Amino acid sequence: MIPTHIEHIGIAVKDLEASIKYYEDTLGMKCYAIEEVKDQKVKTAFFKVGQTKIELLESTDPSGPIGKFIEKKGEGMHHMAFAVNNIEEKLQTVKERGVRLINETPRKGAEGLQIAFLHPKSTNGVLTELCEKKEEQ
| Cβ-based burial of 50 (10 A; exposed 0-12, middle 13-18, buried ≥19) | exposed
Tell me how far, at minimum, the Cβ of 81 lies from Zn ion, in Å. Answer: 5
Binding to Zn ion by CB under 5 A, coded x per residue (else -) over 95-134, reads ----------------------------------x-----
At 46 the three-state DSSP class reads strand
CB-based closest residue to Zn ion = 10
- The C-alpha atoms of residue 89 and residue 95 are separated, in whole angstroms, by 10
Which listed residue (10, 64, 65, 106) binds Zn ion by CB under 5 A? Answer: 10
Among 51, 50, 59, which residue's Cα sits nearest to residue 11?
59
Considering only residues 70, 81, 84, 118, which one is a binding residue for Zn ion as defined by CB under 5 A?
81
Bridge partner residues of 87 (DSSP): none
65 touches Zn ion (CB under 5 A): no
Residues that bind Zn ion (CB under 5 A): 10, 81, 129
